[in-house]
Amino acid sequence: MSSYTDFTGKVVVITGGSRGLGQAMGLGFAECGASVVVSSRDASHCREAVAAIAAQGGRAAAVPCHVGRWQGLEGLVDGVLAVFGRIDVLINNAGTAPTAPASLAVSEELFDKIVAVNFKGPFRLSALVAERMRADGGGVIINISSLAAIKPDPAYPVYAAAKAALNALTRSHAMEFGPSIRVNAIMAGPFWTDMSQSWRDQYERNAPSAVRRMGRPEEVVSTALYLASPRSTYTTGAIVQVDGGIL
């Protein structure tokens, strides 16, 4: 049974890994023996997340990167390879979800920023990493999507559309990169993170889900571990919904 969660010798790269779901997954994979690469725009936050992993006895490194900037992604891959020499698991977790009062109020700059971080970055980074994974015998890519992809809201139409595109990309890349590379997505519902800070208390009081509350970041970890593990070798192109039972 230990093989379910034994990631000794594996290298796991997590974008948006310095806080929220990314930080929780980093701690979880490190606890299971993986070497974790924490990446986000803020170098100081990356170092703090690495320190937290080290404090629990794990191995980690910080490789800061803005995933919404196409030209910088090769540097992220090169940085990881320089430290650990390989990439076994890529978790495309970085995301941004600014709101606007109406679609007419969304500027082109804001539109492009949302699409770049939530869709364009994962597209390009997956392509770069898959090339290296294939050369090394295979690997796993996990995209962190959102329930907004299938339950969009007028407050964040661009974010919802970008996550829907990420779902489609998951299936497309599973076919393109297989059989040696598996690609799946976790379609996350509301979680108690910094991204939900402005509305999480109100949601928690009347959560429209079977568990009647918002998820905690650590509750996504077991799903990520399963999808990354050799126990899920027949699972690819899947969109796994983790939302507490929202109908």
The answer as to whether 79 is a domain residue is yes
CATH number of the domain within which 11 lies:
3.40.50.720
Range of the domain at 211: 2-241
Determine the pLDDT at residue 194.
76
Report the alpha-carbon distance of residue 208 to residue 189 in Å, rounded. Answer: 11
The answer as to whether 28 is a domain residue is yes
The answer as to whether 246 is a domain residue is no
The answer as to whether 144 is a domain residue is yes
- Side chain identity at 75, as an amino acid letter? G
Average pLDDT on 90-104 reads: 94
Residues whose CB falls within 8 Å of the CB of residue 90, separated by 6 or more in sequence, listed in order: 12, 13, 125, 126, 129, 133, 139, 140, 141, 142
Handedness of CA 110, 114, 119, 125 (dihedral sign): positive
Is 159 known to be catalytic? yes
Report the alpha-carbon distance of residue 182 to residue 159 in Å, rounded. Answer: 25
Check pLDDT > 90 for residue 7.
yes
Check pLDDT > 70 for residue 2.
no
Determine the pLDDT at residue 196.
75
Report the alpha-carbon distance of residue 233 to residue 178 in Å, rounded. Answer: 11
Neighbours of 225 (CB within 10 A): 22
Check pLDDT > 70 for residue 215.
yes
What do you get for the CA distance between the two ends of the chain, in Å?
33
Average pLDDT on 152-158 reads: 93
Average pLDDT on 35-48 reads: 97
The answer as to whether 78 is a domain residue is yes
Determine the pLDDT at residue 1.
42
Average pLDDT on 141-167 reads: 96
| Residue of 121 and 1 predicted with greater confidence | 121
Residue keyed to tokens 């999808």: 227
For residue 87, is it left (φ>0), alpha (ψ between -120 and 50) or beta? Answer: beta
Q: Nearest-CA neighbor of 115 among 88, 140, 96? A: 96
The answer as to whether 53 is a domain residue is yes
- Residues 4, 156, 159, 203: which is the catalytic one? 159
Check pLDDT > 90 for residue 3.
no
The answer as to whether 162 is a domain residue is yes
What pLDDT, in 10s, does the model give residues 183-200?
A: 999 999 999 887 777 778
The answer as to whether 84 is a domain residue is yes
Q: How many domains does the chain have?
A: 1
